[in-house]
Chain A
Amino acid sequence: MLVDAKITRAQHRGSRFVLRDVFLNLGEGESVLVVGSSGCGKTTLLLAMTGVLNNLLEGEVEGYSRIGGVNLLEPEGFREVARLVGVVLQDPDKQIAMPTPYDEVSFVLENLGFNDIEERTNRILGTFGLTGKEFVSIEKLSGGEKRRLTIASAIVHDPPIILFDEPTASIDPWGVREVRKYFREHVSGLGKASIVVEHKAKYFLDLVDEVILLEDGVIRARRRISEVDEAFLEYLEEHGVDVRSPILIREPRKDAGRTILETRGLTIGYNGQPVISGIDFEVHEREVVVVIGANGSGKTTFLKTIAGALKPVAGEIVFHEENPRVFYVPQNPDYMFIHTRVKRELDDLYKRSGRIFIEKIFSEAPWLKGLLDMSPHRLSHGQRRWLALTIARGYNPSIVLLDEPTTGLDLKLYRHVVEWIRKIVKEKRSIIIASHDPRVIADLADRVYLVENNRMREVSLEYGLKWLEEGFK
């Protein structure tokens, strides 16, 4: 057995959540997919198995976790972890530590004392399409290139097992396609074992040998992939796992209100460098418009230009109302909070929107009462998303701009966010969403604009959905 882990109990310091009785056995070249909704313990499992939780984070882990015969829970075993595993984490910007691709890849080789560092580094950068970019600053790489770099530096030292922690959370469908390609060619294709932790099971079901469903810190179900049938997929879906493609069941809206915002021949970009040119775009009252496109195509730039953070390069933005109020909500909700306690943020909203609004908020989110003295930055991921959207509502805007509001959300949290966004629409506001998440089109969009080759055009919901859904295949 390559992996023989028996974790009877694992717990973060100061946390009430406990992972119990997780047993994992993997032979050489086997891969297992661990699925489950946020907070089921997927990431805790990875941290516990690798010995990070007890050796580094002062957490408690009982049991053992042997990889290649070395127990990583022991301090001496943990020293060996780099030889035994390669890791790819959720967000490349939360993994890449070095300023250039060359340094990032050679980092692990230097640590392990390899002799052929330069040759290996250049070879793997070539394999992953990064030749010529060895010494380019990381921030000049595209999202896809950064993702490839993290995979390259996970396998360059040839470990027998690769661990993936939600590798598709931060990337667009085309990035997912690349991850799948490299997974097939360089992980399972080269006989390496792997553990993939994901809530988007659909991206990996055809690539693994076994599926494990985690829920509330215990294993609810496990199946060999040959035994996964329709009933099992349905079972996974009931437990908050994304297993299917979204289906469009929305009826077209009949009551499009008057136009409140339009752009005429708008060209957007940074420092006069155009990113998207000649945009003719409009939004009506109480309408949800979704702008889709690959990462880096200029969706966020578009939102920021509408919000007034960036000046248009050319063309104009016309508001058809007297006091246009636009509010931009960034992808990362953490940017939104400027007070040390939740209560202060609510005081702020009270000043702007009055008591009725605050009472409405408390009736929508009764759990808020217990968290008033918490720092907004310490809330759970879902709570932070909710608070960010609530702050936007509190400013009473007529148009709310949402940048990737559903990226990295599991099914359960995604459904909550959809509900919250629908509440905003009910308050007679219009919404522009920038996204590459096909679910958003299926569940929220009234109209869709597609960004491709520096142009933006309106497309049908069906076309937009298909365009995104085909992207990863």
Chain B
Amino acid sequence: MPRVSPATWFIYSLIMTALAFTIRSEIALILPAIPNFILGLILSLRKKYYLFPIAFLLAVWALFLNAVLFVNYGEPVVVVGPLVIRSNALWATLIVTVRIMTITGAAMIFVSMINPRELIISLERQLGLPKGLAFALSLALRLIPLMTYDYHEILFIRRQRGYRTKLIIPTDVIGVLLPLVAVGIDRAYWIGIAAELRGFQLRKRRFNPKYTLWDLLVIAAAIAQTIVSLAIVFLH
């Protein structure tokens, strides 16, 4: 088992997310935003999750576009042909980026530090996740590759049958979800029966928390960031 339990990283990333949602002063968010984002970026690049920075940049671009469309007022800052970008649009983009950095940063740390199977076990042991939900999550892990295969098979059949493979209008969604869920439900039915025949009813909750010093340090780091951010909010 890793030194910091996956459930602890889970809680850490939830606390960071809560900060991003609730702290209204953007200045106060800079403190969690920058270190979390940099740490997250390093960890996720080491794990070769290149989609993260790309998705992050896309999100910031979308924000910027949005800001230019809806809150473009104040002093002109940049003039590109007929397009005038004003101070408030830039400011709005910047402050929302701080929120996204906090969330993505925590998310990148989280997914780089855990593996899904250990996370589920850890959620059960450390946080008392009920057995049914733990079962559903474990099974979901098992089903992801199977259902990804189903999905590609269904898309190929659609192509063969001359239907769109990009899901644009609702009937496209029905045409893909219907076989996907049909095959999935059939599997679930028998997997559920097999689990009941192997004593699912008798299963006990595996709640048995054990926190190490490392766990406490990570939680302490989250709490420290919360306190500092709140302090800045009140001082401001």
Contact = CB atoms under 8 A, between A and B. Distances in A.
A79 B174 CA distance: 39
B175 to A, nearest CB: 4
Interface stretch (B43-51, B91-99, B193-201): B193-201
A111 B202 contact: yes
Given A98-B142, A332-B183, A337-B179, A327 B202 contact: no
B117 A56 contact: no
A97 interface: yes
B78 interface: no
B220 interface: no
A85 interface: yes
A454 interface: no
A335 B153 contact: yes
Interface in B180-236: 182-183, 186-187, 190-191, 193-204, 206
A87 B182 contact: no
Interface string B152-165: 01101110110100
B138 interface: yes
B200 A95 contact: no
Nearest to A55: B196
Interface string B105-125: 000000000001100000000
A335 B190 contact: no
A335 B154 contact: yes
A93 B191 CA distance: 8
Given A94-B190, A95-B194, A139 B145 contact: yes
A244 B157 CA distance: 36
A87 B197 contact: yes
A335 B150 contact: yes
Given A110-B203, A335-B153, A96 B142 contact: yes
Given A337-B178, A338-B161, A338-B179, A108 B150 contact: no
A123 B71 CA distance: 66
A87 B193 CA distance: 10
A111 B200 contact: yes
Interface of A: 47, 50, 52, 56, 79, 81-83, 85, 87, 89-91, 93-100, 103, 107-108, 110-113, 135, 137-139, 153, 304, 307, 309, 327-328, 330, 332, 334-340, 348, 377, 391, 395
Given A99-B138, A332-B183, A336-B179, 19 more contacts: A56-B193, A79-B201, A81-B196, A89-B193, A93-B187, A94-B191, A94-B194, A95-B191, A99-B142, A113-B204, A139-B145, A153-B198, A307-B156, A328-B157, A330-B153, A330-B157, A335-B154, A340-B178, A377-B182
